[in-house]
A = this chain, B = another copy of it.
Amino acid sequence: MPQTITIENILTAQQLIGNYVKATPVVESSLLNQLLGHQIIFKVECMQRTGSFKLRGASHMLAQLKKQGKLPKQILANSSGNHAQAVALAARLFGVQAKIFSTKSISAVKAAATQYYGAELLLFASREEADEQVELAAQHPDAVWVPPFNHPYIIAGQGTAALEALQQIGPVDGVFAPCGGGGLLSGTYIASRALCPTAEVVGAEPLAANDGANSLREGKIIRLKQAPDTLADGAATPAVGSYTFPILQQLDGFYEVDEGKIAYWTQWLQHLLKIHVEPTSAMSMEAVVHWLKNKTEKQKVLVILSGGNIDQQKMLKIWQNDYLQQLPSLPPDLKS
């Protein structure tokens, strides 16, 4: 297992997972491009199997274990979200059992999807209890824990989304991805730096769950003090990890996005792209428009749309106010 993750690790991951993941499309909106005066290209991991990029990391970890003859009988994961479904499908694809340690508050639709892929779902009263129990279960010799982000194989797997996108669209000026635990963003950084060294790589995080921004400011990993309340549930992770943090420290920019702007961009991306984009993914657009206002030349930007799994309560919250009344534009302080 590599301690420093390189583009070679991501290229290897791409080869290993080719039969298990979809090559997802890239799309753009001519109206959005006209309104902003730049070219914004979206990598649509919403269309990935299980509805998010998470299958890339999970299937890469299993492919590596298989290659090393270490495929366990059972894999374990603690998640109530996109990672649970990804691990469940990865297990089925590699012919192993999956046990998902989740909480009783998991939404019915996510529970159904996890079970549809054949995984056993264990429900606990709290996230802490689920985390404790998965740790205990992982001590069994026939079981392997698939962590959600803080592992070189996971990071390299997630990096294949940006790698694939840059292979599809060629060089860009900026690359944007959301930050939860930092797995996707770290992989995106490594792939982008290698394929397109002059591109700036920028992260986005909910202001309501800004452990990443705080950690970058303090120069050490800071945990959230309590469970955050944010539309961007894929970026609500309490802390970044020991593998991801040093990579995140090399980013060219990092933006904290308030809940109103997260809802705003979710509405607009769903409307403009006709894609069921989740808030965690749409959030990056607020970083894009702030980053763009310093640019005098027309920029070509890649935005990694991480996923499209949204429960009913969240859809109601997203659409509570009518943000479609306010057309997208660059932030006002640049307007002449």
Contact = CB atoms under 8 A, between A and B. Distances in A.
Interface of A: 31, 34, 46-47, 51, 107-109, 112-113, 116, 267, 270-271, 273-276, 308-313, 315-316, 319-325, 327
A35 to B, nearest CB: 9
A320 B324 contact: no
Contacts of A273: 276
B324 A316 contact: no
Nearest to A45: B274
A204 B327 CA distance: 34
Contacts of A34: 116
A331 B108 CA distance: 21
B319 A316 contact: yes
A270 B274 CA distance: 10
B276 A274 contact: yes
Nearest to A308: B274
Contacts of A109: 271, 324-325
A319 B315 CA distance: 7
14 contacts: A34-B116, A46-B274, A47-B274, A107-B324, A108-B322, A108-B324, A112-B327, A271-B310, A274-B308, A276-B276, A311-B324, A312-B319, A316-B320, A319-B319
Contact of A276 (B31, B108, B271, B327): B271
- A34, A271, A309 pick with most chain B CB within 10 angstroms: A271
A31 B270 contact: no
A312 B316 contact: no
A324 B270 CA distance: 19
A312 B46 CA distance: 21
A71 B57 CA distance: 55
A116 B31 contact: yes
Given A31-B116, A276-B276, A316-B316, 8 more contacts: A112-B327, A267-B315, A275-B275, A275-B276, A311-B322, A311-B324, A312-B321, A316-B319
A274 B116 CA distance: 18
B325 A108 contact: yes
A322 B327 contact: no
Contacts of A319: 312, 315-316, 319
Contacts of A323: 312
A327 B112 CA distance: 8
A113 B312 contact: no
Contact of A324 (B31, B46, B312, B321): B312
A46 B270 CA distance: 11
B267 A312 contact: yes
